[in-house]
Structure 1
Amino acid sequence: MAKAMTIPDYHPYQQAHLNKPQLQFSDIAPLIEHYQVQPWLTVTELGRSVKQQPIYQLQLGQGDKRILAWSQMHGDESTATAALFDLLNYLQAPEQAAWREQLFAEITLYIIPMLNPDGAAKHSRVNAQGIDINRDALALQSPEGQLLMAAAKQIKPHFAFNLHDQNRFHAAGPYPNPATISLLAPAYNAEREINASRRAAMQLIAHVQPWLEQQIPQHIGRYADDWSARSFGDTFAAMGISTVLVESGAYRGDDNRQMARWLNFQLYVAWLAAIASDSYQQADVALYNAIPFNRSGGMKDVLLQGLTVSIGDTTATVDLAINLALTGDRRARIDELGDLSLFSAFHQFSVQGLAFKAGQAYPLNTALSLDTEAHLALLQQGYTHFSGDKALLQASSRLPVLLNPLRPTQGSPQLWQGATFLLVNTQGKVVQAVLNGQLISVPSGVIHNPLGT
């Protein structure tokens, strides 16, 4: 069966309301209800999570080649969940009826679209027991892990798609870019041998490697295949299932990982077609091996290069890295100092000739109306944040406004301090300010790295 690698017009199939930083069960519950009444697939409640949220499986097709895909095993990794519902939209589209009929004559696809709804509810990797489900393949202490293993033993899939998100600090091998998609055919034993089922997983990845490299050049990574006996991917590989790990990563200017979502969707369509037609068997495993290994921690959020830092009689010119919290307390922190020439960043700035200066807290003793102009004037005076009663502050400034921040930067930058400080020239004049990790020119007020860019 022949099928084009790329779906040229993806947007008609993109499931609405899933462009979010995190997805919870309430986001997919209406979609599950929709598919429960569709005649061309079967929806089954596999069981319940620790907190009694339902966990569903969708079954499509009646072919002999069986595929099991699951997402959100880690509750805070939801990119693939959105992409799976995009795939379902594509498969149910009237214009795909002929291809769907051909496809489902060859394959049966089983989808578990959110294995860890409790973790999803609290934006957590682990389940409500505090267990990492992907380290529970041996002990099976979590009900969610038990359900996944029971499904695999019942289905006996030939292929498995293990769908995850990775943190945005993975770099694509030697390149100065985030690894937007990382792939792996996990090992099935400690010797990392290659048998027929693992080779098939490698060939599936090799089948899409040229297309991926064309779409996102120098943004592809591969995980090291160290054997992890407790992990489901490795365990399923040991059971003879051709398992592909997909890790969705970051892309510049794409906080919600919509690029990785689109790529996942395209990969699923390509892999289903390749499995149905056996065309992946023609792929050269050398293309799999050509994918560079992820460089863990190779990316920073913000990198300031050439910053002058003085402590007593000692002065040094250093690089300073800042990492942002995009969820939770949303507090930016100083991540590393020194020679950071081996790292890349989503936002990289030369601050050569500028020196670090700690900001002061402006005390709120009386009511203060803070617009952008007043905010910039305070920055020029050395005030980066406010202390006191928040009821006294009426802020309309378009710049980040920090009130009673935790661990404000002290006289010199230190690891894990809040990334809020000033940059001054040789005359001591404030030229730029860093407010919660965002670099701002003073007095123009230009924000050089607003969140979401």
Structure 2
Amino acid sequence: MNFKNISFLFFLFGFLTVSISSAQEKEIYKELYNSYEDFKEKSIEKRRFTQAEIQPLIDELKKKENFEVAKVGESIEGRPLHLISVGSGEVDVFLWSQMHGDESTATMAIFDILNFLDSEEFSEEKEEMLKNVKLHFLPMLNPDGAQRFQRRNLLGVDINRDALRLQSPESKTLKKVRDSLDADFGFNLHDQSTYYNAERTPKPATISYLAPAFNYEKSINNVRGAAMQVIVQMNEILQEYAPGQVGRYNDDFEPRAFGDNIQKWGTSTVLIESGGYANDPEKQEIRKLNFVSILAAVFSIADGDYKNADISKYEEIPNNDRKLFDLKLTGLTYELLGEEYILDLGINQREIQDESLDYFYDAYIADRGDLSTFYGYEELDASGFSLVEGKIYPETFQNLAELQQENISEILQEGYAYVALEELPEEDFTESPINIVSEDFEISGNLQPHFFLQKDGKLVYAVINGFLIDLSEENFSVENALILD
């Protein structure tokens, strides 16, 4: 056998080995996705939770033989910051979440991953993985922000812009832990706006990735290149479960940011941003995608498979764009000062939070005009429909109990978006599909997201607080309407 034949056989053997390995790993990820509910941490299923709610989970891990739990710092208000470590490998992988207090999706996923690591399932795969890597989790870096479900810490500082000055104790802790580990890989876990879409598509950027730049030139060295290769593999996995819903975050260099600097300091850093997913306001499906994709990355790092990824495919991931609305209405007829115009409307629903961390929706018209390059989670072609602004029902009711005796559906079908009460509830919202107002309430002269769509003289749809209602349906509801004084 000549040298060329021997070389070809070695090449073929290597190719087959990689192919078999990749196929086996994809099967594992499929099994992880399908068995996710076995590992999901059931005690946290809403986005708004505090450090006090995860502390018992951390305390339980302290009792586990395979886990190391160390207090590594405190927040400004004295809430503890813990590092949870597992594994014995020489490759250190550092994952931190919720440096912005209102970005909690990955924190939930971290505890799902910890449950997975603590379970009896997939024991052989985990044993092999943890021989090669040591995982370090720092969940909820900004517990004071999480206490208020706000982005910044108690000082009012964006921790992710404090990597150089290091004035916040949380920032100092993150830098100290990164330096002490001299981690090979880092995962910077965030949430992004639900209004991001994958560029030039109507699909939300449910997960966006970034290998942050470490200089203004956006150079690619071995450190950043390795992060790109890991992202290529994560993207391939997620395309199985959220096809077309992966974006690439903007890579402009930000010299104050931790991700950019940690990349610069020699840790291959992957930014993960959890965005939007239809009908998933508490981000439970996105949490599941985090669980699968992060574990896929860790397995790939452990066996070195990420090195086989084609780095050029990183640039093929669509850029993030911000062209999504909660509701998009296209081509409706709008009358102003006796003239008719054709408009598209884009309506969004902002979350208004109270002191108990509960929230309600308060919709607003985000844009109008030609929105042909925009998309909506919910869309309606309103061509041929005329916009009719909502009116106040002529009868005033004493209180909410009296109103609830009425047929709200019939009131809406007559074009009334508001009902007045003598005794206005103290809350700011109502679960009824109609706005409740005081007796002296006056409708704003500006177009509000409370109107009707009429065709051939008949009201067909209502939009109440930005929620679209088909008036032909017998039963309908909205997340909430408003109580307006």
Structure 1 position 223, deviation (Å)? 1.1
Q: Which moved more, 1:371-380 or 1:40-49?
A: 371-380
Alignment of structure 1 residues 43-442 onto 2, 5 Å: 43-296=69-322, 298-328=323-353, 329-362=360-393, 364=396, 366-367=398-399, 369-371=402-404, 374-390=407-423, 399-404=432-437, 410-411=444-445, 413=447, 417=448, 419-427=449-457, 429-442=458-471
- Provide the rounded CA distance (Å) in 1 between the counterparts of 2:199 and 2:436: 40
How many angstroms does 1:411 deviate by?
4.8
The whole-number CA distance in structure 1 between the counterparts of 2:138 and 2:453 is 50
Q: Which moved more, 1:325-334 or 1:304-313?
A: 325-334
CA RMSD of aligned residues (A): 2.4
Cα distance in 2 for residues equivalent to 1:359 and 1:49:
48
Which letter does structure 2 place at the counterpart of 1:228?
E
Residues 160, 241 of structure 1: 8 Å contact kept? yes
String of CA shifts for 1:222-263, please: whole Å, max 9, x gaps.
Answer: 012110111100000110110000011111121111222111
Structure 2 SS opposite 1:5: helix
Question: Do the aligned residues in 2 keep the contact of 1:223 with 1:293 (CA within 8 Å)?
Answer: yes
Of 442-451 and 139-148, the range deviating more from structure 2: 442-451
State how far apart, in whole Å, the 2-side matches of 1:423 and 1:411 are.
18
Secondary structure at 1:208's aligned position in 2? helix
* Separation (CA, whole Å) in 1 of partners of 2:159 and 2:283: 23
Q: Which protein has the larger Cα radius of gyration, Structure 1 or Structure 2?
A: 2
Question: SS at 2:282's partner residue?
Answer: coil
Which sits farther off after the overlay, 90-99 or 177-186? 90-99
What per-residue deviation string (whole Å, max 9, x for no partner) do you get for residues 305-336 of structure 1?
12211111321011111101244252111111
Q: Is the 8 A contact 2:237 2:293 kept in 1?
A: no
User: 8 Å contact 2:72–2:82 — kept in the other structure?
Assistant: yes
- The residue type paired with residue 377 of structure 1 is E
| Distance in 1 (alpha carbons) for counterparts of 2:334 and 2:405 | 28
> TM-score normalised to the size of structure 2?
0.85
Q: Contact (CA 8 Å) 1:171, 1:295: kept in 2 or not?
A: yes
The question of whether the paired residues in 1 share the 8 Å contact of 2:397 and 2:403 is answered with no
Runs of 4+ in 1 over 4 A off after TM superposition: 405-409, 448-451
Q: Is the Cα–Cα contact under 8 Å of residues 223 and 268 in structure 2 kept in the other structure?
A: yes
Aligned mates of 1:194, 1:314 — CA distance in 2: 57
* Alpha carbons 1:311, 1:412 under 8 Å: kept: no
Q: Which residue of 1 aligns with 2:29?
A: 5
Provide the secondary structure at the position in 2 that maps to 1:348.
strand
What is the percentage of aligned positions where both structures have the same residue? 36
Cα gap change, 1:407 to 1:128, in 2 (>3 Å):
farther
Give the whole-Å Cα distance in 1 for the aligned partners of 2:156 and 2:227. 31
Alignment length (residue pairs): 442
The CA distance in 1 between the partners of 2:106 and 2:442, in whole Å, is 37
Aligned counterparts of 1:289 and 1:409: Cα–Cα separation in 2: 50
1:353/1:425 contact within 8 Å kept: yes
C-alpha change, 1:308 and 1:211, in structure 2 (3 Å) is same
TM-score, structure 1 length as denominator? 0.91
Q: Which moved more, 1:209-218 or 1:44-53?
A: 209-218
